[in-house]
Structure 1
């Protein structure tokens, strides 16, 4: 347990989306086209930084290389301008050693949209997901629960109570 096939990811992303709908949450299941792996989960929220509100769009996509979910994000100031890498680091990880940041949160091309996004690096995701004694029935939900808080993406506790999928 820890790594996923594309079909497992897609099934679990759809289950997560169903939970979101039941809870009245704002997640979207975005499908670029019917070719794999062109479907991902998406949500936006506003975060207050020192100067103003920042609009952050999060995408949970499938990493073909690592066979795990992966979290991408873009952050925009209230005037619509995109935050650069340093500003994103300051927003989400101000306490982290700058040498370690490139290994945690870095800029790379979105695997579906093919444009630059910030991404939490997936190199240890499978290992982290395997560390749970009882395997999760929905690793996408587990992934978002574990990795989301690192970039101020928090799920309602009710997601964990959806026993049909957890």
Structure 2
């Protein structure tokens, strides 16, 4: 007899599954002190996951430059270190090309798309918010080329659906492209996964948000994602 064919796994999830994935994610975050929390909207049943990071970047992120003058961060650092006259001057030069930005990330459930969506806002330490163009320039180098091909389809500015404030958003329209193969593989290998971990591990690094490996290896935060 032929083995029964498995039903394809849906890359969408309901709000209950989203909340469960977030709960398990947050439990592990508390264990490793990763800084995630759940923010409840007062007087409602709605909420979202939240994390704030301070991220060092090149100061050129905050100032428009011709594209040809923007170099890889490692190349800039190497050039500075090769030309400084002494160690003190080198340290000073490296510090001068960096700024520190404050990123605040929110993971929300989208009822329209039936998937999680990553919202964020970014500002300098003095509170001055970054423009959309500055955020585009601060996208991780590995993803910058793809962003330039269609920035408005990838990263844009939207009103936060729960706070009513201007936020940036990674557009969720391509979520199925990477989530469906990942979930199909997990089903084929009978492995447990946490949708939020898998999804955030892909979209987070685009905007400087990394997910520690322990989220993927800790079985207690995973669950079987059933076919629909």
TM-score w.r.t. the length of structure 2 is 0.68
User: C-alpha deviations, 1:40-95, integer Å up to 9, x for none?
Assistant: 11101111122210000011111111000110110001211100100000111544
Q: How many residues align?
A: 165
Unaligned runs of 5+ in 2: 1-9, 60-98, 223-228
CA drift at 1:114: 1.3
What SS does the aligned partner of 1:49 have? Answer: strand
**2:103–2:120 CA contact under 8 A, matched in 1:** yes
User: C-alpha deviations, 1:98-137, integer Å up to 9, x for none?
Assistant: 4501000000111111111000001121342111111553
Unaligned runs of 5+ in 1: none
Counterpart of 2:167 (choices 117, 133, 137) is 117
What SS does the aligned partner of 2:186 have? Answer: coil
Distance 2:147 2:30 in 1: 38
**1:105–1:119 CA contact under 8 A, matched in 2:** yes
**1:47–1:56 CA contact under 8 A, matched in 2:** yes
After the TM superposition, which residues 28-67 of structure 1 pair with which residues of structure 2 at under 5 Å, given as runs? 28-33=37-42, 35-36=44-45, 38-51=46-59, 52-67=99-114
Q: Which structure is larger by alpha-carbon Rg, 1 or 2? A: 2
* Residue in structure 2 matched with residue 158 of structure 1 by the alignment: 214
Question: Which structure has the highest strand share of the two?
Answer: 1
* Residue in structure 1 matched with residue 87 of structure 2 by the alignment: none
Distance 1:125 1:34 in 2: 31
Question: Is 1:4 aligned to residue 13 of structure 2?
Answer: yes
Distance 2:129 2:146 in 1: 22
Question: Which structure has the highest helix share of the two?
Answer: 2
Distance 1:126 1:33 in 2: 32
Distance 2:181 2:162 in 1: 29
CA drift at 1:9: 0.6
After the TM superposition, which residues 8-157 of structure 1 pair with which residues of structure 2 at under 5 Å, given as runs? 8-33=17-42, 35-36=44-45, 38-51=46-59, 52-92=99-139, 94-96=144-146, 98-132=148-182, 133-135=185-187, 137-157=193-213
Distance 1:91 1:97 in 2: 11
